[in-house]
């Protein structure tokens, strides 16, 4: 039998955010560890951040004229 090696990942998360996210993940049938594993797998496969990051409209800087 082979033993799977694993590393521990620790992050500080606001308790309310963690609870809200865990509630969604539970409904999807996965744990927080599953979600993190999927995220990191996608980063490694794509060699990029797997989500498009944009600011909400209200937080965007005004466009400058050139």
Q: Is 22 exposed, middle or buried (0-12, 13-18, 19+ CB in 10 A)?
A: middle
pLDDT at 53: 87
Instruction: Give the pLDDT confidence of 16-59 residue by residue, as tens digits.
Output: 999 999 999 999 999 999 999 999 999 999 999 999 988 888 88
Q: Check: pTM over 0.85? Answer yes or no.
A: no
More confident residue, 2 or 13: 13
Could you tell me which of 35, 39, 36, 66 has the C-alpha nearest to residue 51?
A: 39
> Is the confidence at residue 65, as pLDDT, over 70?
no
**Euclidean distance between the first and the last CA atom of the chain, given in angstroms as a whole number:** 65
pLDDT at 8: 92
């Amino acid at each position: 039998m082979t033993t799977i090696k694993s590393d521990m990942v620790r992050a500080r998360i606001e308790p309310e955010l963690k609870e809200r996210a865990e509630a969604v993940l539970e409904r999807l049938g996965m744990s927080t560890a599953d979600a993190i594993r999927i995220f990191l797998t996608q980063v490694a496969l794509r060699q990029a951040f797997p989500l498009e990051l944009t600011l909400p409209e209200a937080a965007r800087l005004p466009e400058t004229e050139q």
